[in-house]
Amino acid sequence: MEEHYQHLYQALSQVDGYIYPNEIDLHWGLMIVLYPYITGLVAGAFILASLERVFNIKVLKPTYGLALLTALSFLLVATMPLVSHLQHPFRSYEIFMTPNPTSAMAIFGFVYLWYLMVVLLLEIWFDYRRDFVIWSKTSTGFKKFFYKIITLGINDSDEKSAKLDDKLGYFITVLGIPSAFILHGYVGFIFGSVKANPWWSTVLMPVIFLFSAMVSGIALVMVIYMVVSWIRKVKIDMECLDTIAKYLFYILIIDFTLESLDQIHRIYEAEESFDIIKVLVSGKLNITLLIMQVFLGTVIPLGVIGFFQVYKPNEKIRKIAYFFVGIIVLIGIFFMRWNVVIGGQLFSKSLSGFTSFNAVYSGLEGYGMVAVWLILPLLILTFLLWLMPPWKKADIHKLSRPKIG
């Protein structure tokens, strides 16, 4: 009881103005920040892979398989922040056992299953099936056992079966593009549809979430591609890296433009809530929004990559610059999620006061758990790259594919 009063006293000491009693503590914390961040990485990585597979942008081929495995690794962990946030995480299966079509959480559960089972796993299976057959004949131990099981008894490896796999994989990738939009656009829809919160309630929120997801996914694959190449001690394909950076530059411009238009629209309307949002941006979110998200995560990357579009320095400088640009873009998008989730809870519905967010280091919703859910997909990716190295695949993509446009 004493700890409860101590916590209440500390929370009340950070309250400014008038707030309602149930607004002292924030209901959504770090796990709800992390959940849209991870799903955005998944959607962005998959969309980058689709540029090579569907739109025949061959220069991106070195990152195609890596992008798919990255998307899968992070998708396997995407729901874990939500499970950590639940008071009774072991009851989460009931979402599927007793589906409720009016529940946003339940709908996301089915979207997640669709994307995992129908899109990503099937595409990767068709993409690797021929290789699994070949590797099962040359490998030993666990790998041999895994390859034999995963082929599902389909052991054809001739050109005809490879062409069929490629066509089916292509079809699933085409299906996966709108699925990726739904997976992350739906998250933005959940926030944008909360009309009682003026920080969230905007029709642009799903679109902003979608483009920021593409930004983060592309930046993640760019960084991972460079790290994997350095570890393998192979030459980085600079044409591929420059192209990825160029796409990152263009999509970051669109994302920044959309967010700017949203803020301009708020200023133009100047509704009753505008005054408190202005104080929120210049006060509580001054560092996380203006410095971390806008300056560090947007302005600096745009300046660096934009400069490289005019003048290209040597490869070594570009590699170092791209690596650090990728890192700060990932940091910027994380703080974008922070500013949406946490920022939208810092001011009262009375529009006359503010509360504060105090994160903890331990527990199911602390910084430690954030680190766990960010490191785990990287460990999964390391395992998948050992088990299914995309650089050892047979080159079936030389087979003809339908072209878009």
Q: What is the pLDDT of residues 217-259, one digit of tens each?
A: 999 999 999 999 999 999 999 999 999 999 999 999 999 999 9
Lowest mean pLDDT among 136-140, 215-219, 301-305: 136-140
pLDDT of the residue at 252: 97
- Count Cβ atoms within 10 A of the Cβ of residue 262 and give its class: 0-12 exposed, 13-18 middle, 19 or more buried: middle
Q: On the CB side of 393, how many CA atoms lie within 13 Å of its CA?
A: 24
Q: Which two tokens stand for residue 144?
A: 């041999």
Residue spans of the domains in the chain: they are 15-396
- Tell me the whole-structure pTM to 2 decimals: 0.90
- For the cut 70, the answer to whether the pLDDT of residue 396 exceeds it is no
SS3 358: coil
**Long-range contact list for 319-322, CB < 8 A, 24+ apart?**
319/226, 319/236, 319/238, 319/241, 322/222, 322/226, 322/241, 322/245
* CATH code of the domain made up of 15-396: 1.20.1630.10
Q: Which residues lie closer than 8 Å to 15 by C-beta, 6 or more apart?
A: 24, 353, 354, 355, 356
d(CA 126, CA 119) in angstroms, rounded, equals: 11
d(CA 378, CA 196) in angstroms, rounded, equals: 38
DSSP assigned state of 16: E
Model confidence pLDDT, tens digit, residues 310-344: 998 999 999 999 999 999 999 999 999 999 999 98
d(CA 196, CA 174) in angstroms, rounded, equals: 37
Nearest to 209 by CA among 340, 70, 79: 340
Helix axes 205-232, 30-53, angle to 10 degrees: 70
